[in-house]
Chain A
Amino acid sequence: MTTTGQPRLLGTDKPPTLVSRLMDNRWAGLAGLLVAVLAPFVIATPYALSVMTSAAIFVMLAAGLNIVVGYCGLLDLGYVAFFAVGAYTAGVLTTRVGLPLLATVPAVLVVTVIAGVVIGAPTLRLRSDYLAIVTLGFGEIIRITANNLDVTGGPSGIYGIPSLTANPVVFYYVTVAVVALAVLGAARLGRSRMGRAWRFIREDEDAAEAMGVHTYKVKLAAYIAGAVWGGLAGVLFAAHLSAISPTSFTFLQSALVLMAVVLGGMGSIPGVVVGAVVISLLPEFLRDLADYRFFLFGVLLIVVMLVRPQGLWPARSKEALK
């Protein structure tokens, strides 16, 4: 799933067309941001705002997992662990210690980095399938731990987490701003020395090592970056719902984020943003179908993967050029 499979870069040898140029440059990102900013002017019911805020948080998760899976080619089936660590750290510190939400951010950064190292350091010595299995295990360990500890509220979780603002419209815009910065940050990392090193590892770990890339450290860096993105998304999540419980952090969540990355196009920032929006909003649009909606959701995903195995908006080898 990580390095095998279909060619991901149609159009590498074609001259740039108007469409590809539009899709390549930063206008695509600004257009996406514009859509997010204008959405509340189209529909601003509390329910719609809540769905859109969740979608934005989901985009941030996908951008974070894309660093690990898309850039670095490390199949992580327990990514939701970092989301949980961030959300619980913010939840515990606000409700038990009484810190304001913003003040928990430095602590969340520290804790997620530690979580990234603790989970990554032993697992990253493994390759491919073994890594996937162990990360799956860690994802479950974090959730079950939260389920059993007193400080995390056990199965009922934590509630009464203060939001940043009482106004859901303002909170939506704050979320969009944070997520936009996170997506931009992930894109910029991808175009840096580190981002290239991640791709070298994805393509050929031995050749990367021969070029002087300390593959273990660089993989750990990808893992930590993914952990930080996931953890900060967790803070937004806790603030958005004001209540968190272990049921929010199941394997299904990890699978959905991974699905967003694969559906959009691994390693492609616009791709994973589109993928995340589709995965998080499509079930809402299919709501009228009641019991059939997840059936149709599944069928649609299979159709997309059959028709466009490289993802909706695949990465090109030119991506790292600009």
Chain B
Amino acid sequence: MSLLEVEDLRLRFGGLLAIDGLSFSVEEGEIVSVIGPNGAGKTSAFNCVTGFYRASSGRLALRGENLLGLRPSAVAARGIARTFQNLRLFGELSVLDNVRAGAHLWLRQGILDALLHTPRYRRSERECTEQAHHWLDFVGLRGDRYGAARNLPYGEQRRAEIARALARRPDLLLLDEPAAGLNQGEKAEMLDLIRRVQGLGIAIVLIEHDMGLVMDVSERVVVLNFGQKIADGRPDDVRKDPAVIAAYLGSEAHA
């Protein structure tokens, strides 16, 4: 059984079929890139998988368990974490608190524990803080962890968002354009970070426009165009695929 199975997914916005019969799968620990021209339906597909959009029809399953129709928090509870194309950190909160959000699902602490400051409260708070520091170390955050997240430089915010997703301890991590807006040095660091995340046994699906990064890091590439999958395979094969070249460069039919 694959980790994530997407079968014949359709998403309709009024008269527009944003995703038209998309099928793909992700295996345990695999890195898959989803590429395609702007408006191809990449982020829409992400939003369907994570429950932000409700697919019109199709099948979505994580380890065979249905995901379709679940609200985003329930999808997150099944073991999927994501980042957003436009950074969605909790800007006014400290960087540390942002990463603590990842602990929400596994932190065992009741209202009474919090009101009475029971040993369980203290223990869980300590664990949550230690974990947050651990993941900030893991992504190599250099900025002020106690300051507001919106004060971090852009590249650091990208990393903080990934730390927050990792603190969830997911089986599958969806990264929506993790390298967007990063300079060359930061891109290299991001590449390294993605590999290290894979080293933890976490499968990754990423949407990315930087083809260098995609070809370098992916084990498999899925290409979308107009809501449909036009190619799926090893990076080298996809690169040579005439349909992909046509989609990106424009064929006579589409020019």
Task: Answer yes or no: B243 CB below 8 A from chain A CBs.
Answer: no
Instruction: For residue B155, give the distance in angstroms from its CB to the closest CB of chain A.
Output: 18
**B129's closest neighbor in chain A, by CB?**
A321
CB neighbours of A208 from chain B (8 A): 90, 101
Q: A209-B71, A211-B164, A212-B77 are in contact. Are A192 and B109 (CB under 8 A)?
A: yes
Q: Contact size class for B?
A: 35 or more
- Among the 9-residue stretches A7-15, A28-36, A300-308, the one with 4 or more Cβ atoms under 8 Å from chain B is A7-15
Task: Answer yes or no: A125 CB below 8 A from chain B CBs.
Answer: no
Task: Answer yes or no: A200 CB below 8 A from chain B CBs.
Answer: yes
Task: Answer yes or no: B50 CB below 8 A from chain A CBs.
Answer: yes
Cβ–Cβ contact A200 & B148, under 8 A: no
CB neighbours of B101 from chain A (8 A): 196-197, 200, 207-208, 211, 213
- Among the 9-residue stretches B21-29, B81-89, B188-196, the one with 4 or more Cβ atoms under 8 Å from chain A is B81-89
- A310-322: CB near B (< 8 Å → 1, else 0) gives 0000000110110
Cβ–Cβ contact B73 & A214, under 8 A: yes
Instruction: For residue A314, give the distance in angstroms from its CB to the closest CB of chain B.
Output: 10
Partner of B88, one of A8, A188, A207: A207
Q: Contact size class for A?
A: 20 to 34
CB neighbours of A209 from chain B (8 A): 52, 71-73, 76
CB neighbours of A317 from chain B (8 A): 92-94, 97, 146-149
Cβ–Cβ contact A199 & B88, under 8 A: no
- B47-91: CB near A (< 8 Å → 1, else 0) gives 000101000000000000000000111101100011010001111
Q: A189-B115, A192-B114, A214-B71 are in contact. Are A321 and B94 (CB under 8 A)?
A: yes
Cβ–Cβ contact A195 & B114, under 8 A: yes
A residues touching B (Cβ–Cβ < 8 Å)? Answer: 7-9, 12-13, 185, 188-189, 191-197, 199-200, 203-204, 206-215, 317-318, 320-321
B residues touching A (Cβ–Cβ < 8 Å)? Answer: 50, 52, 71-74, 76-77, 81-82, 84, 88-94, 96-97, 100-105, 107, 109, 111, 113-115, 117, 121, 124, 128, 144, 146-149, 151, 164-165, 168
* 19 A-B pairs in the complex with CB atoms less than 8 angstroms apart: A8-B92, A9-B92, A12-B146, A192-B113, A193-B107, A199-B97, A203-B90, A203-B92, A204-B90, A207-B101, A208-B101, A210-B72, A210-B82, A211-B105, A212-B104, A213-B104, A214-B73, A317-B149, A321-B146
